[in-house]
Amino acid sequence: MRKAVLVTGASSGVGLALCKRLLEEDHELHLCLACRNRSKAEAVREALLASHPLAEVSIVQVDVSDLQSVFRASGELKQRFQRLDYVYLNAGIMPNPQLNIKALFSGLFSRKVIHMFSTAEGLLTQEDQITADGLQEVFETNVFGHFILIQELAPLLCHSDSPSQLIWTSSRNARKSNFCLEDIQHSRGQEPYSSSKYAVDLLSVAVNRNFNSRGLYSSVVCPGTMVTNMTCGILPPCVWTLLTPIIWLLRFFANAFTLTPYNGTEALREGVRAGEEQREEGQRIRSGFRADSREPDVGLELTHREIAA
């Protein structure tokens, strides 16, 4: 039977590169592109089928910042699929990013310079807005829409005899200090992107705690810093081109600079391997290899798979 894979945000960047890579690895996959823009998705579908004619590539139109659209898309998916083997929760936004020049210059002359460049900590602020659902756009797109999607798709994901995996595209920019339970949507702060990615990390831990026993495993990955539509919102493409030699040098000191979406997909594939390890570990615990049944103290850093591409 064909494996069934759903990818959100498959129309560009790392999501698109992932779709190409998945089909290179399995020519007979059923790949479902979950995109908000149908014409972009159609163009991607045609290009993918042209190079992988044996594959089945379908489209589901979904805007993860619109709850009605998420409910409609999940209804459609439940009619079309019996199960989903892998779901890549990848769509994301960082609207109107502003570079904090003061923080950039003070960081340049500090010992934290590599850390600053590889995590963008304190460097970026964003201007968020309210969606038609009355939620913060960054939170709804990056976290909540995806959360509702997986809740709705539970019948396709929870089969204890044949497990499924969720792979979230998180970010090194995720910061606990930007996340607050009293303001879960980060409506009062200026770093909603960082906050939303931290919420994604927490959500993945919670999914594992609550759903592993039902055959669903979750992992979060950071694809590294790549030149995509998202990063071209921070600096124009020509500046990224000029910076490329410097970034190549920085790669000797920090593996976070993956540069291309194709390199970034390595982390997403690593997420699958991490999920498989978790499942095998779980099976060993259940079959008595591990004497202690104490729940491990899950540090988020342990769930964060980053790559050394």
Ligand X SMILES: NC(=O)c1ccc[n+]([C@@H]2O[C@H](COP(=O)([O-])OP(=O)(O)OC[C@H]3O[C@@H](n4cnc5c(N)ncnc54)[C@H](OP(=O)(O)O)[C@@H]3O)[C@@H](O)[C@H]2O)c1
Tokens 């939170």 map to which residue? 139
Indicate the angle between helix axes 145-152 and 67-80, nearest 10 degrees: 30
Nearest to 68 by CA among 152, 12, 4, 142: 152
* Alpha-carbon distances, residue 125 vs 97, 117, 277 (angstroms): 6, 15, 36
Q: List Cβ neighbours of 124 (8 Å cut-off, separation of 6 or more).
A: 94, 97, 98, 99, 100, 173, 191, 193, 194, 234
Q: Which is nearer to ligand X, 94 or 157 (CB)?
A: 94
CB of 302 to ligand X, least distance (A): 19
Task: Kindly tell me which of 73 and 163 has the beta carbon lying closer to ligand X.
Answer: 73
Please report, as ranges, the residues that interact with ligand X according to CB under 6 A.
Answer: 8-9, 11-15, 36-37, 40, 62-65, 90-93, 141, 169, 171, 222-223, 225-226, 228-231, 261
Name which of 29 and 93 has its Cβ closer to ligand X.
93
**d(C-alpha 211, C-alpha 148), whole Å:** 15
Q: Indicate which residues carry an active-site annotation.
A: 193
Closest approach, Cβ 160 to ligand X, in A, equals 29
Closest to ligand X by CB, 169 vs 208, is 169
CB of 176 to ligand X, least distance (A): 17
| Rounded Cα distance, 224 and 307, in Å | 8
> Are the C-beta atoms of residues 49 and 55 closer than 8 Å to each other?
yes
Nearest distance in Å: CB 65, ligand X:
4
For ligand X, the nearest residue by Cβ is: 13
